[in-house]
Each structure stands twice: as structure tokens, then as C-alpha cells.
Structure 1
């Protein structure tokens, strides 16, 4: 169980940090303005579009990744153990 915990924790930390970096670049207009969760301004260049997609992907990976390793895999193993017994 420790390996599932560390895999989920690693996904949470790494993807969360990368999401914060990209959200800080693209969503923070100023120090007094809304930060990280503000609306994205403009469509930007091709590289900005890639950054937007990566930002959203990292956010979902930081949410779904730990849930998978902390809840869904242990529940699946528990259910499979009950079915086999």
C-alpha cells in the first residue's frame, strides 16, 4: 500500500506544482489581482495554446491521479479479494 500512496502523492505534488507555475504565468495579471484562478486573457500564440492545454492537463492529473492510487486501486483490490473468496 505504501507504493500506491507515494505514487499518488508524487502525482499530486509534481502536477500541482506544474499547474501552479503555468497558472501563474497565464492567469496572474498583477499582484493585487486574482491569482492562479483568474480568466485567461487572449488566445495567445501556438506556444501559449500548448501551455493552456498542459495547464488543464496538469490540474486534472493532480486531482484524478491521487484519487486513482488512494481510492480506486485499493477499492478494486478489496472487491476482487471478496469476489475470489
Structure 2
């Protein structure tokens, strides 16, 4: 069980760090206003659009990755053990 916790924590912190860096670049218009949750600028290049796509995917990877390893895998093992007779 400790390895699932470590994997979930690794996904949460790793993807969360990438999200925070990209959100700081693209979602912080000024330091006196909204930080990490401001509006994304309109005039984006192709590389900026890829970074915004990575920004959104890292947010969801952090959330669902931690839930998968902390809830889904242990629940799946319990269900498998119940039905396989172990």
C-alpha cells in the first residue's frame, strides 16, 4: 500500500509543480491581481497554446492520478481479492 501512496503523491506533487509553473507564466497577469487563476491571454503562439494544453492536462493529471492510486488501485485489489477467492 505504501507504493501506491508514493506513486499518487509523486503524481500530485510533480504534476502540481508543473501546473504551478505554467499557471504562473500564463494565468498571472499582474502580481497585484489574480494569481494562478487569471484569464489566459488571447494572443498566443502555437507553442503558447501547447503550453496551455499542458497546463490544463497537468491539473487533471494531478487530481485524477492521486485519486487513481489512493482510491482506485486499492479498491480494485479488494474487489479482485473478493471475487478470486484469495
TM-score range, shorter chain: over 0.9
What is the DSSP-based 3-state SS (H/G/I as helix, E as strand, rest coil) of the residue aligned with 1:17? Answer: helix
TM-superposed CA distance for 1:38, in Å, is 1.0
Gaps of 5+ in 1: none
Give 1:16-55 correspondences, 5 Å limit.
16-55=16-55
TM superposition outliers: structure 1 runs of 4+ over 6 Å: none
Unaligned runs of 5+ in 2: none
Give 1:41 deviation, angstroms. Answer: 1.3
Would the aligned equivalents of 1:19 and 1:59 in 2 still touch at CA under 8 Å?
yes
1:61 paired with 2:46, answer: no
TM-score (norm 2): 0.95
Higher mean Cα deviation, 11-20 or 39-48?
39-48
Counterpart of 1:73 in structure 2 is 73
CA contact (8 A) 1:43 1:49 kept: no
Q: Could you tell me the TM-score, scaled by structure 1's length? A: 0.96
Q: Distance in 1 between matches of 2:20 and 2:51?
A: 12
Name the CA distance, whole Å, in 2 between partners of 1:43 and 1:11.
Answer: 31
Aligned to 1:8: 8
Q: Aligned pair count?
A: 85
